[in-house]
Structure 1
């Protein structure tokens, strides 16, 4: 029996530890789940949102099943979790499903221990559950017999449709329609940053990209992330989905609604977060009508509320293993287990690509992707997530950890919590410690950190560091030589400026290089020579940008990391070898 608990565990279960001991035989004849007690402190885990399971898909497309083509079919093995939970315990009255009373048939399933919908809190059917509606650009409801089928007809005509999903809205267009893709970019203010697509099946994904075993398993997993894959040549996907990029982000349908879209013969779909660039994803219907005005032509909505937004997770296969680029929907807020227990700590993250982490006992609960804290919408999402975490995990932090940078909004928020002690953490020490935790290392290590920006203990901008240390502290053993960054952010957006600064600083005068021929280099040289409006940094990110520009790469970038990404892909296509090195 003990072996069966581990070997035959439900697909979404997670066993953190297991102990067994004998108790007297009671010969009970029934099994029941009792009603949760109020005002009782619990140490519970919250499940991530899980991709629809094969059993539910089978029922969804069975004409004889009462949930035939029902876009909200789910069971205990799949469906929404984290994004619909308002509070704990995880019972229906504390979720957004509390607005939907179970019909007699669903209630019977809910009460039956032999049914896979036994105590499935989001359980619903067409009689008692959420429903979809199609709205026009002004938010007015369109009276239609089949809103989902009509959505696909609109997409095939080149329209942009905002589709409400698990953790928020997607903006969807036909990924094979170049004009539709360009119109989406124009309206969303997303010039060249790659867009992800959703395709019907793994077989279709294989037509567009090369897929290895690990990538295939990730695509088909219960987490159902976007996986960044190597493109095949001559594919029908519009070039501007991922311009000048030899990779393509692909995901498979992970909700019943997605599967029904493809049942009605959807083409490959661009499915990008429904927002203006750098703003949080929309989750509320009226919020979508307001914030997406002028972007979406139509809205496919439903009336099941989303309590907390959650973007799609993104994985990439590098160096023979999968790595998270973004850990969010499908993974958050599943914890990482650490060896020792300590005080309850809230870590509030940095300014860019923000996530938060709550350390409670020996569990580190990582939030979903929050994003760049550069506008009021993102900052509100940040504070909402903190409040939500403290509520669902019943934890008040004893310490708040924050980045050393005094101007980060996350740091400023931490400093405002006057009744809780705060602890500043150097940005690259945090990188070192997180890498140690990921690989379960305890002893002191040598950490090589190649980063874009991090506020150093000396007040300068670090980014290319060799640190020695452990979780409790570090020593800056060595670092890349600081170089001038002429114009600060202007140099980040125009890598050629950084390249000129590196060359001028290294050689004393600019060498005769082809990439410099049509550039106005004199003002940059003067800025470097006179150290006017130049910021010193040891950033590896800027070194990558400079070398990319010198090798004929982009002189001006349109999204973060673009020069380095395109340079890396060019290098991958060549037969190049690294210098020998030893430690």
Structure 2
């Protein structure tokens, strides 16, 4: 029986799972000649140390100051304890209540990259090389605490050499759970190719250089890849995947990325970050790519290789690769082998496979550097499930489960002072995505042992996520909080900024496609006065009828007709040959009758639909969109240079205040007839929208005695609009609150719903 001596127990909470924290603690204790032990306990680490008080103080200080780069130490609690004598050691993980302690998957570190390139190294060209500082994490975890038996590496017993590294405190693989080598780890092979005996990566590279399309099993799912410099291969991929115009992401090494795009130092750092997102970068005019990669766009989605497999493949091909989600159009990304063989067989000619199972689907994250910060557009691999801090005075809030919206869906769990916003789950109007959403809900709540006290949903009664939340709340007898769509957008921006409940309300500008309003009509361009429990709409874009309902969201000319009829009158529209040509062959009599009588033509105050209309007027939008945001993206890409803002009318006597775009359309049409270039017209439109909403928000702020303006909604992913709006607000002495870690689009709704529900329960 060991002797116990006076010492202390230290509890460390934060991001301390899967980041090499226990090995770090071990080395630190040995360096300071302290005895004791360290273990994982759910979402925290428990350390017991014995030794001189000065050494213990130095140890406690170093826990935060010297922690591994991927760790986030949020709280260190010290208390006296009896500690067993003896050399410091790592002990088996204990049980505990798990909340949000798992880190995301981490891009290959420089040491492992050097190792796979070293012919003398044991892991030379090994596609699954990793260490404490890098490699798969969330994509392989099946349970917590985070140990190898609770990962998809459980089926790969360590060989003696790997076991020696795992047990050696001086080795960078000390207690690294996913480690492996060619002798004991996952294997790589190529399916669908006649060549035998060839190195799978070299053979895959040869097929890609020859113009073939391949499926590649990665960390969080399958990609579909082809040579980004081969026009025929790109065109064939688009045809087979039924993706005619949506931009494709490219994977390339850093030198090639610089040849393709203009990259600032901040953007280079984002590319090289351990999260390794797809980053939207300004495309060079002479970039060695075919036009079909990002048709009509000024930006390109670029990511660097983030696994050893990717590094080896990109180097072997020697060209940038299209690397798009492995799925059929609109379906979730595939992450299981048999499903890939079945669903991708008509798209790809061969499969680069491996035998490490993927625990959960994780799309690549997407980000853009805008208005001085990196802003997340899609939260996925490399970012989820990193938790978000709740504002300071949310202590004691009940655990909330928030289900988000219909498009770009994500769910959010709160636990104590933190919120866990899930990875991107997709659009729930696609049945397969809806099924995947339900699977993710079970997965997250089980993995993080989440026991909600409140369920939060959108107001829209027909959303699948709303139905799911209603059923779950009823089955468990839990209270249900319904949160208006745009209130949730603004609350998410407030919470990310650390805005406390005690700080009171803010002005909110919510610009997006459509969300159900409190009056049961479609909102999408609103100015609100918000605190967390409630919101009040004070201004809106003048609504127009959406002829054909949902069809108007897919066919921009319908929205343009409504705007032009409202601004100019049908007779003027029909009498102008240039405008009339835009509607040639369209059923105008039927549509106008629908709009006049309000039959299947619901009114909507949508900024997204305004972008669609202007894009259609400038000839930048097809009759029918092939993907969401297509028209708005084309309009942003067309805008060039500075231009005086187009005018809007402000009807202050109305309740809510009406922001009328009729003057915009009159001025725009006059410029079209005068031959003004579309690039200048698009720039003037962006400036007009930014100036109008900034001015209206400033007016509301002055009336209400407020100083902060929160900006959110998918339309604010437009970099030009966001930067112009922020600049105009700041010029008026207002403080913009702009999302960065939380997507401004509907991917952030669940976070906003969660903080609203929590605040209502706190009272």
What band does the TM-score fall into relative to the shorter chain? over 0.9
Match of 1:126 among 168, 178, 182: 182
| Equivalent position SS for 1:435 | helix
Larger CA deviation: 566-575 vs 353-362: 566-575
Match of 1:33 among 47, 70, 90: 90
Alignment pair present for 1:277 and 2:329: yes
Shift of 1:481: 1.9
Q: TM-score, normalised by structure 2?
A: 0.73
CA deviations 1:545-577 (Å, max 9, x no partner) are 112222332142221111111112222345455
Find the counterpart in structure 1 of residue 311 from structure 2: 259
Larger CA deviation: 516-525 vs 367-376: 516-525
Contact 1:166/1:306, CA 8 A, preserved across alignment: yes
Alignment pair present for 1:12 and 2:70: yes
Question: Compared with structure 1, are the counterparts of its residues 170 and 515 closer, same or farther at alpha carbon in structure 2 (3 Å cutoff)?
Answer: farther
Find the counterpart in structure 1 of residue 544 from structure 2: 483
Match of 1:147 among 194, 200, 204: 200
Question: Compared with structure 1, are the counterparts of its residues 393 and 30 closer, same or farther at alpha carbon in structure 2 (3 Å cutoff)?
Answer: same
Larger CA deviation: 28-37 vs 41-50: 28-37
Paired with 1:3 and 1:36, the residues of 2 have a C-alpha distance of: 24
Shift of 1:543: 1.3
| Equivalent position SS for 1:87 | coil
Larger CA deviation: 110-119 vs 423-432: 110-119
Alignment pair present for 1:170 and 2:223: yes
| Equivalent position SS for 2:346 | coil
Alignment pair present for 1:394 and 2:462: no
Find the counterpart in structure 2 of residue 287 from structure 1: 339
Match of 1:343 among 398, 401, 407: 398
Shift of 1:377: 1.8
Q: Which residues of 2 match residues 304-383 of structure 1 at below 5 A? A: 304-338=356-390, 339=392, 340-341=394-395, 342-383=397-438
Larger CA deviation: 174-183 vs 109-118: 109-118
Find the counterpart in structure 2 of residue 232 from structure 1: 284
Shift of 1:276: 0.9
Q: Which runs of 5+ in 1 are unaligned?
A: none
Larger CA deviation: 340-349 vs 504-513: 504-513
CA deviations 1:56-78 (Å, max 9, x no partner) are 11111111111110000001100
Contact 1:195/1:271, CA 8 A, preserved across alignment: yes
Find the counterpart in structure 2 of residue 77 from structure 1: 133
Larger CA deviation: 528-537 vs 331-340: 528-537
Shift of 1:530: 3.4
Find the counterpart in structure 2 of residue 571 from structure 1: 639
Question: What is the number of equivalent residue pairs in this alignment?
Answer: 577
Paired with 1:146 and 1:456, the residues of 2 have a C-alpha distance of: 58
Paired with 1:27 and 1:95, the residues of 2 have a C-alpha distance of: 31
Paired with 2:90 and 2:364, the residues of 1 have a C-alpha distance of: 33
Paired with 2:204 and 2:445, the residues of 1 have a C-alpha distance of: 39
Paired with 2:330 and 2:455, the residues of 1 have a C-alpha distance of: 26
Find the counterpart in structure 2 of residue 501 from structure 1: 562
| Equivalent position SS for 2:376 | strand
Shift of 1:142: 6.3
Q: Which residues of 2 match residues 59-74 of structure 1 at below 5 A? A: 59-74=115-130
Paired with 2:98 and 2:441, the residues of 1 have a C-alpha distance of: 19
CA deviations 1:393-416 (Å, max 9, x no partner) are 111211111111111111111121
Shift of 1:392: 1.7
Query: Which is helix-richer, 1 or 2?
Result: 2
Alignment pair present for 1:114 and 2:170: yes
| Equivalent position SS for 1:99 | coil
Find the counterpart in structure 1 of residue 595 from structure 2: 528
Find the counterpart in structure 2 of residue 105 from structure 1: 161
| Equivalent position SS for 1:216 | helix
Find the counterpart in structure 2 of residue 542 from structure 1: 609
Paired with 1:279 and 1:490, the residues of 2 have a C-alpha distance of: 21
Find the counterpart in structure 1 of residue 145 from structure 2: 89
| Equivalent position SS for 2:536 | strand
| Equivalent position SS for 2:153 | helix
Match of 1:215 among 243, 267, 270: 267
Find the counterpart in structure 2 of residue 434 from structure 1: 492
Contact 2:208/2:317, CA 8 A, preserved across alignment: no
Shift of 1:4: 4.2
Paired with 2:100 and 2:456, the residues of 1 have a C-alpha distance of: 23
Larger CA deviation: 453-462 vs 542-551: 542-551
Find the counterpart in structure 2 of residue 449 from structure 1: 510
Paired with 1:457 and 1:44, the residues of 2 have a C-alpha distance of: 33
Paired with 2:492 and 2:97, the residues of 1 have a C-alpha distance of: 30
Shift of 1:29: 5.4
Contact 1:134/1:142, CA 8 A, preserved across alignment: no
Contact 2:209/2:317, CA 8 A, preserved across alignment: no
Find the counterpart in structure 2 of residue 551 from structure 1: 618
Paired with 1:293 and 1:423, the residues of 2 have a C-alpha distance of: 44
Paired with 1:475 and 1:24, the residues of 2 have a C-alpha distance of: 53
Structure index of larger Rg: 2
Larger CA deviation: 85-94 vs 258-267: 258-267
Paired with 1:552 and 1:371, the residues of 2 have a C-alpha distance of: 30
Find the counterpart in structure 1 of residue 466 from structure 2: 411
Shift of 1:135: 0.5
Contact 2:552/2:558, CA 8 A, preserved across alignment: yes
Larger CA deviation: 78-87 vs 141-150: 141-150
CA RMSD of aligned residues (A): 2.0
Find the counterpart in structure 2 of residue 184 from structure 1: 237
